[in-house]
Amino acid sequence: MAVQFNVATLLKEPLGSTREYAIEGRVLIDDQPRHGEVRGRATFLRTSDGVLVTAELRGEERDACSRCLTEVAIPLALTFEEVYLGGINPGSKLAASEREGFRIDEKHILDMEEAIRQAWTVALPMQPLCRTECRGLCARCGHDLNEGACPCPPDVDERWSALQQLASQMEGT
C-alpha cells in the first residue's frame, strides 16, 4: 500500500496548518497482502515537532473462524493519531533521529504504511468467530457441529460407570 505523502510545503507553513488526504489500498502484514482493502481519510496538522496525523479508516479482513474454520469477513474500524517527527525541532535538545516515533524522511516524505499496519494488527480479533454461538468442529471426526450432531458416540467418563450401573439397577427394581 503506497500511503506516502510529500509534506514539504506543509512543513514550511505556520503551526496549525492542515491538509486532508484520502487513503485507499491493501494492508501488508509480514510482507503478505491481506484480503481486504483499507479506505478512509487522514488529516495532517503542522506542529512544532513535525506533523500530527489523525486517521479514520475502515476495512475488511478475511480470516478463518477459530472454531469451525469457515471463512469469515471481519469489518474493521481504525482510528489513530501519530506524530511524525520532522528534522529539527527548535524546542527540543534532541534531533528527530534521536527521538522515538515515526519519521518524516530527508525528502519530506511522510509514510503512513507502518502506522496503518500496526493499527490494523491491533484491531484484528485474537480468535475470529463466524458468529458468537459457533459450535466449532468435533474433536474426533472434524464434523462441523453447526450443521448438526456428528456420528461419534458421546464421551463416557469411566469414573461415573459405577453410579450408572447403580441407577440402572434401581430402575429395574
The CB density around residue 149, as the number of other CB atoms within 10 Å, is: 10
Contacts (Cβ under 8 Å, ≥6 apart) of 63: 71, 72, 74, 124, 128
CB 40 within 8 A of CB 50: no
CA triplet 117, 121, 124: central angle to 5 degrees?
140
3-state DSSP assignment of residue 7: coil
Q: Three cell numbers at 161? A: 460407570
Mean pLDDT by 10 residues, the chain (173 residues): 88 96 80 73 96 96 94 94 78 56 93 91 94 95 94 85 87 76
pTM, whole model, 2 decimals? 0.74
pLDDT at 19: 97
Relative to beta strand 71-85, strand 102-103 is parallel
pLDDT at 165: 86
Task: Say how far apart CA 100 and CA 83 lie, in whole Å.
Answer: 10
